[in-house]
Amino acid sequence: MTNEPPPRRTISVRTRLLSVTGVVAVASLLIWHSQLADLLDLNPAADKQPVVGGSGPGGTAPPAVELSVKATPQPVKMPPPSKKPTKPTPKPTKSAQVSYDESSDEGLTPRLRSRLKKATAAAKADGVAISITSGRRSVAKQQKLLREAIERYGSYKAATRWVLPPEYSAHVKGMAVDIGPQAAMVWLNQNGWRYGICRRYDNEPWHFEALTTPGRRCPARESHAVAKAD
């Protein structure tokens, strides 16, 4: 028989339990109070905390630490370089992109250019100056001329007797020249065949193309331009 009294231990355990319970209770109270204070907006620190709850479902709420430590500048994260190749912008056609010095032989086909050079030299020897008034044209320029011609002549059909749409125009291809002045038109109409250059239309005494083999007769003239493929 032992006389060891269990009550002492019990008391001691009870005391411990009580004190632990007390600590837990106090802690719970403190936590509860702080939560209550937050809820009631009594905690002054709560004012400084930005509301994070507002972020949408897709939004990532930044950590509170980062938000409160405003003095420390965060390194700026550069977006990673895009591996997706930039979509290439469609290149306009060369004729639409490049504009030529229309009053020169710039952009003319080598054939017309060299023939015209020889003819111009021969005309000069005869005392006649040939000057180009309109050579190679851009698509944009030809479209502009056509728009103006439609206004002037009242219809597309009438306009295209004088100005062809870009897709049919020999000027846009660098295969035609308009020249001046009057004396030059007359000279080239008479002598152009020697150099392979011919007047093409009855209604345009200024318009010439390389239509024959040098030294051969020019083909019969057309009364006017027609908007169709050659």
Strands 207-209 and 198-199, bridge-based pairing: antiparallel
Q: What interhelical angle do 110-125 and 182-191 show, nearest 10?
A: 110
Tokens 């190679």 label which residue?
A: 136
Amino acid residing at 99: S
Give least dist CB 120 to Zn ion, A.
17
- Give the C-alpha separation, 138 to 126, whole Å: 33
Given the complex with Zn ion, which of 205 and 214 has the nearer CB atom? 205
5 CB-side CA count, 13 A: 4
Give least dist CB 171 to Zn ion, A.
6
Give least dist CB 207 to Zn ion, A.
4
Give least dist CB 186 to Zn ion, A.
17
Give least dist CB 87 to Zn ion, A.
39
Given the complex with Zn ion, which of 115 and 207 has the nearer CB atom? 207
Return the SS3 of 10: helix
Q: Is 72 exposed, middle or buried (0-12, 13-18, 19+ CB in 10 A)?
A: exposed
Given the complex with Zn ion, which of 68 and 104 has the nearer CB atom? 104
Given the complex with Zn ion, which of 14 and 111 has the nearer CB atom? 111
| Chain residue at closest Cβ approach to Zn ion | 207
Contact residues toward Zn ion (CB under 5 A) are 178, 207
Q: Which helix (H) or strand (E) holds 9?
A: helix 6-39
Amino acid residing at 21: T
Given the complex with Zn ion, which of 126 and 148 has the nearer CB atom? 148
- Give the C-alpha separation, 43 to 34, whole Å: 8
Given the complex with Zn ion, which of 169 and 187 has the nearer CB atom? 169
Give least dist CB 131 to Zn ion, A.
14
